[in-house]
Structure 1
Amino acid sequence: MPRALVQLGLLYYNTGQNNKAVEQYKRVIENYRATPEARSAITGLRNAYVEMNDVESYFSYARTIQGYGDINLAEKDSLLYASGENLYMSGNYQRAAGVLESYLREFPAGGFVQNARFYLAECRRSEGKDDEALNLYSAIVAAPNNQFTEQSLISAAGLSYNNEDYVASLDYYEKLETAAGSPENRIVSLRGQLRSAYQLGDAGKTIAAVDKINKNGNIPEELQREAIFMKAKANYSLNNFDEALIDFRRTAGEVVSSEGAESKYRIAEILYMKNRNDESEKIIHEFIDQKSPHQYWMAKMFLLLSDISVKKGDMLQARVTLESIRDYYTINDDGILDDVGTKLAALDRNNL
């Protein structure tokens, strides 16, 4: 009789009827406790509960059966983690998170801690709980190198960058450069280093990131262009105007993008600073003819044009240019109209 019940439980288990399998296995355990079949039934019961992602019920039941209550800690470690992983893989992130949290609470030094942290982080991220996810990814990164280190670095770096914590994102992206196991992830690292350093205003590290990009093969064209522009901006901030001018010329071929428009303006500005006023004015008129959609940079060009007029002694043209900006520029909070007011006031003070 007990053998038949075990076989019936196995039949139910193999056909996915786990609740019925549990019933049969419990009948054997409770009614034929002293038999070899009872031991087989315990194994079958465990497998059925694991398949149902309900190992906690297995643990609870096992504690009630005399002689079977002491579950090996290693077995519990493995089963509890497996249940959480199965739930995660099936897309049941809410239940998976609960089981994985239980696992980490009960087995803080268990055999699957990094796995559990990673899948729990992914669950939290899917729920929009990015701060919790970041803490988990950070814990994985801080542990010795493991199978989740690379992806955790990518995720931690991205979340830190989104939080505008550019110091942390730069650190993670630098570590990813060493950990990257594919050319694609190395590019992710280099792009992240470039953008993080740029956002920090760290000109030296921005230029260093660009140099790494230039030494790397198979860099996407858009990243190459971004790197050139950011290097130009970094050199500009360091007053390395000759170097900046070279790179701004490389990114000023079009003025549809904001980077292209700014690059064209910076060329005109640097030429003006070098007293190459005719060349600067030529660049300004080229920009005007290109009809850039970026009104801010268009206005900056006209402001620069007024400065050139002042240098040339044509105060009337300078005033006309400034008054034109004042009358037609519609944005009040980007500093353009403030600059116009300052320049017009200077002309007034000098009776020009």
Structure 2
Amino acid sequence: SLVKLGRSSEAIADYDYILNDWTSDYTERSLISVSKVLMDEKKYNEAIVYLKRLETTADYKVHYTYAINNLLKAYNALGMADDMKKYAEIIKTSDKASEEEKNSSDLYIGKSFLLKADTVQAVKAFNNVVAKTKTLAAAEAKYNLAAIQYAKGDYKTSQKTCFDLINNMPSYDYWVAKSFILLSDNYLALKDKLQAKSTLLSIIDNYEGKDDIIPTAKEKLAKIN
């Protein structure tokens, strides 16, 4: 397909032709295809246009669920708190969403409160996620709780929360590594420079992901030195 050939803009033009001519399952699948391309390319504002159309016209449960879940992801990527909260609430109360999607919705509700600096409501939402599930969403929620504790100067509690995530959710490498970085921040705040450095060095030596973890750890280590 044109998408696989890296010619996604041509593919989208073809899909647009279909969308203007049809109203059917074929149209819904085309809306999904276009929005998926745009989401993969991080063109969130453009993806939202197609996802909103799918949300309002979908006859198929699975397509509607795809639309609302991806609208939530797009608004999250754009940091649009009100829309994040709106779609998280829709998912939370939808009979078409899975239990896991409903449980994870509180993560986004918490993040929307964080964007508005309402840490009290954010903590409530994150605690809800952690209480209901042990998935990736719970790992991110737990990390956010530790980050809030650190920001409030409650370094010992933040350390405890970090260790809780590291020990009880070891399969989520990214959030475990983020927790180690936050641990080093806590050590530094508690004047334990040696422990802060060794924690960062252990991440640099052992983490295998190709994301922001290693650059962040190196940057923080350079500042300690």
Instruction: Compute the TM-score of the two structures, normalised by the length of structure 2.
Output: 0.75
Aligned residues: 215
2:82 is the alignment partner of 1:204: yes
1:187-198 equivalences in 2 (<5 Å): 187-198=65-76
1:38-97 deviation line (CA, Å, top 9, x unaligned)? xxxxxxxxxxxxxxxxxxxxxxxxxxxxxxxxxxxxxxxxxxxxxxxxxxxxxxxxxxxx
- CA 1:219/1:304 → structure 2, altered by over 3 Å: closer, same or farther? same
Structure 2 unaligned segments of length 5 or more: list them: 4-9
Q: Residues of 1 paired with 2:94 and 2:122: CA distance?
A: 22
Shift of 1:284: 1.4
- CA 1:138/1:306 → structure 2, altered by over 3 Å: closer, same or farther? same
For residue 149 of structure 1, give the secondary structure of its aligned residue in structure 2. Answer: coil
1:64: which partner in 2?
A: none
1:340: which partner in 2?
A: 217
Cα RMSD between the aligned structures? 3.3
1:190–1:213 contact (8 Å) kept in structure 2: yes
Q: Residues of 1 paired with 2:189 and 2:179: CA distance?
A: 15
2:150–2:158 contact (8 Å) kept in structure 1: yes
2:94 is the alignment partner of 1:213: no
1:114: which partner in 2?
A: none
Q: For residue 347 of structure 1, what is the amino acid of its counterpart?
A: I
Return the match for 2:57 from 167, 179, 185: 179
1:173–1:192 contact (8 Å) kept in structure 2: yes
1:311: which partner in 2?
A: 189
The structure with more radius of gyration: 1
For residue 292 of structure 1, give the secondary structure of its aligned residue in structure 2. Answer: coil
Return the match for 1:300 from 174, 178, 189: 178
Q: Residues of 1 paired with 2:63 and 2:169: CA distance?
A: 38
1:114-151 deviation line (CA, Å, top 9, x unaligned)? xxxxxxxxxx99xxx954651233213xxxxxxx5253
- CA 1:160/1:244 → structure 2, altered by over 3 Å: closer, same or farther? farther
Deviates more, 1:298-307 or 1:332-341: 332-341
Q: Residues of 1 paired with 2:74 and 2:220: CA distance?
A: 36
1:204–1:234 contact (8 Å) kept in structure 2: yes
Report % sequence identity: 23
Which protein, 1 or 2, shows the higher relative CO under an 8 Å CA cutoff with sep ≥ 6? Answer: 2
2:139–2:169 contact (8 Å) kept in structure 1: no
1:255–1:292 contact (8 Å) kept in structure 2: no
1:1-352 equivalences in 2 (<5 Å): 130-131=11-12, 133-140=14-21, 148-149=22-23, 151=25, 153-164=27-38, 165-181=43-59, 186-253=64-131, 257-326=135-204, 328-331=205-208, 333-348=210-225
Instruction: Compute the TM-score of the two structures, normalised by the length of structure 1.
Output: 0.51
- CA 1:234/1:131 → structure 2, altered by over 3 Å: closer, same or farther? same
- CA 1:198/1:335 → structure 2, altered by over 3 Å: closer, same or farther? closer
Shift of 1:220: 2.0
Structure 1 unaligned segments of length 5 or more: list them: 1-123, 141-147
Runs of 4+ that moved beyond 6 A: none
Shift of 1:224: 1.2
1:198–1:206 contact (8 Å) kept in structure 2: yes
For residue 75 of structure 2, give the secondary structure of its aligned residue in structure 1. Answer: helix
1:5: which partner in 2?
A: none
- CA 1:289/1:201 → structure 2, altered by over 3 Å: closer, same or farther? same
